[in-house]
Chain A
Amino acid sequence: MTDDDALITRAGEGDQAAFRALYQKHRNDVARLVFRMVGPRGDLDDLVQEVFFQVYRSLKDFRGQSKFSTWLHRVTVNVVLMARRAQKSRPLFSATSEGWQDELRDSQALPDVDAERRERIRAFSALLERLGDKKRDVFILHELEGHSPSEIAEMVGCPVLTVRTRLFYARREIEGMLREEPSLRGIAGTFSRTAQGDAP
């Protein structure tokens, strides 16, 4: 039995301290996933809080059929999807991505490194902006969060094949944008040069 298992069992039985420990252990992961899915908008705190409130309500029903982290991400994805549908708006992955840039926390980075990173983030935001919601979600969950297609299928409630298809098209679109979009071409070139320079 892992530490999480013990905490989950106790929290499911109403142990407030165990729930708090679980929350503190996983809240950064949840915040990161929510941020990746919704972008820089003002209600990030509300969404994270809502996720853990739903976790509190549903924890007693968690049967351990999947990993807790997978289940937690499923709840997170559901909360985000419901918020997105409710607000009837796409996430604010704006082209300028001021919200992201302002939040850069790497104060140790050198100015030119920081500028390069800012440019990459801008490019990344622009790409996500242009992907459809469903393709963007599977891209984030697979490429950035490291979930398998079967786990993603469980989270978003669709067949594994559909997840693979969305992932395929997300990759293809991103590759196409990297090749064809003038504003992104430089970034792709930067990546290529970096990769070549790193190669032995």
Chain B
Amino acid sequence: MTRPYDEFVRNAKSDADAATPEIDWAEVDDRLFQRIAAERSRGEFERRRRIAWGVGSLAVAAAATGIWIAVPANRGDAARNPTPLAALPASLGPSVGTVVSIDGAGDIKIDHQSAQNGSALHRGQRLEAERARVVFERVDPSGIAYTFESGTRALVKDALPTLVLALETGAVEAQVQHIKTGDAFAVDVGQARVAVHGTHLRVAREGEFVTVDLSEGVISLGTVDGTREVLIAPVHAEFNANRVRETLRVDREQSRVRVPVTLRRWAELVPSIAMGPKEPSTPLSKTPLALRNLQNGALGTNGQVSELLSPSQSDSQNPAAPPPDKEPEAPKAPVRLLDPAAEITSGVQRCIESDAVVFGKRDEENSNGASVTTSLLLRIGADGQVQAARFNPAISPAAMTCASAVIYRTKFATPGDRAIQIRYVR
């Protein structure tokens, strides 16, 4: 190696050490351990819910078969000393990702339970996205960010080494980092498998009709057990889920490939309640090209496909589509199903509710009820985004962390300061 190069590297190393900026560790510590506390709380909440779910299911099953269950005489002790985890009936597989954002007015359900930011998805669980879009991330062992669009149902078939999703309906889009061997990510649709080494792709299913849009990287496409064809981006592919080899049509024209969405905004990682201005949230995905083709009558039927998109998606993401007959003057503001203040109130109440369950506050106060009253003071920017928020009086850190996710993703029609009275009564 040349001397200038060696000298350059040696100096670069020491210079870069000196140039590394000072970090406010106290602030990082606070935010990190607040997130961890919230994560632990959620985990505990999930475990308790599963206990309740398991016991409830057992009770129903027992009642149906005529079996009696002996209820412990001292129920108070039982509540204070929950069942050891080893005795839990539910056995979850490895986690395949954690919810990092939810967009839309609907609900995201994992195994029929509502999910929120921080909820984990495990092998064997079923996800349903109803009028909302959810983004998951898994960092280890490989980096994967994937989103389920509104109207999607999918089952996690496997977690390691390959994350395998069985797509029943709807669409999943993923950014997958390359791994050394094998597939990092795969989507099964009927008898077909779309396997991914490292790429950005979207797989959409409507009935038996499947579209794949590959904007970068390489995938293999074929049957679950058989041989597969390697496709290199850019590619738009269409096929029947159960007859992939016979029906596969591949279009390599760039303009046919749907524009990928950015799945992650790192500025929103920790929406601290005291943080400054936030950027607007990520817009929802554009209308998939294949679905537009379907809507234009090229393939499939019109009515079924339009049901995949939420009203806001349909309005904002297909500007080329002819305007609807009944509403020639479509509103410019984003369509939301709830008033922003009501949405925030509802979200914060849910956070307080979760916090109460997690820390057993509700158990202790069950007989007499419990209430929390607070004022939420908001500063709303010219773009309608919440720039700062403060609770007076403060609520618990875990509830605040949870609430901030709701607050900062909400958009208002007008700027200025606003106070929202929030009351939680149980």
Which A positions have Cβ atoms within 8 angstroms of B? 16, 19-20, 23, 27, 31-32, 35-36, 40, 43-50, 52-54, 56-58, 61, 74-75, 78-79, 81-83, 85-88, 99-101, 103-106, 117, 120-121, 123-124, 127, 143-144, 153-154, 156-159, 171, 174-175, 178, 187-188, 191-192, 194-195
- In the bound assembly, the distance between CA atoms of A58 and B97 in angstroms comes to 11
A6 smallest CB distance to B (angstroms): 20
Among the stretches B12-20, B185-193, B285-293, B353-361, the one at the interface with A is B12-20
A49 touches B140 (CB 8 A): no
* A159–B180 CB distance below 8 A: yes
Could you say which residues of chain B place their CB within 8 Å of the CB of A46? 266-267, 269-270
Min CB gap A164→B, angstroms: 14
Known: A45-B24, A56-B39. 19 other contacts (CB 8 A): A16-B36, A23-B32, A53-B36, A57-B139, A74-B140, A75-B139, A78-B143, A82-B145, A85-B177, A85-B200, A86-B264, A100-B19, A106-B18, A120-B11, A120-B15, A157-B142, A158-B180, A178-B2, A188-B4
B→A interface (CB under 8 Å): 1-9, 11-13, 15-25, 27-28, 31-33, 35-36, 39, 94-95, 98, 137, 139-140, 142-143, 145, 175, 177-180, 184, 198, 200, 262-267, 269-270
CA distance A43 to B3 in the complex (A): 36
Contact of A43 among B22, B94, B267 (CB under 8 A): B267
Q: What residues of chain B lie closer than 8 Å to A192, measured between beta carbons?
A: 3-4, 7
Chain B hits for A47, CB < 8 A = 266
Residue of B nearest to A154 (CB): B180
> Can you name 18 A-B residue pairings with CB atoms under 8 Å?
A31-B23, A35-B20, A45-B23, A45-B24, A49-B35, A57-B139, A78-B140, A82-B137, A103-B22, A117-B18, A120-B11, A121-B15, A144-B9, A171-B1, A174-B5, A175-B2, A191-B7, A191-B8
Residue from A74, A117, A120, A171 in contact with B5 in the complex, judged by beta carbons closer than 8 Å: A171
Contact in complex: A50, B266 (CB < 8 Å): yes
Whole-angstrom CA separation of A124 from B36 in the bound complex: 37
| Cα separation A147 to B346 with both chains bound (whole Å) | 50
- Asked if A104 and B28 make an inter-chain contact with CB atoms under 8 angstroms apart, the answer reads no
Q: Are A103 and B177 in contact (CB under 8 A)?
A: no
Q: How far is the CA of A106 from the CA of B15 in the complex (A)?
A: 10
**Distance A31 CA – B177 CA, assembled complex (angstroms):** 22
Measured CB to CB, the nearest residue on chain B to A184 is B8
Q: Is the CB of B262 within 8 A of A188?
A: no
Q: How far is the CA of A60 from the CA of B413 in the complex (A)?
A: 45
Residues of chain A within 8 A of B179, CB atoms compared: 157
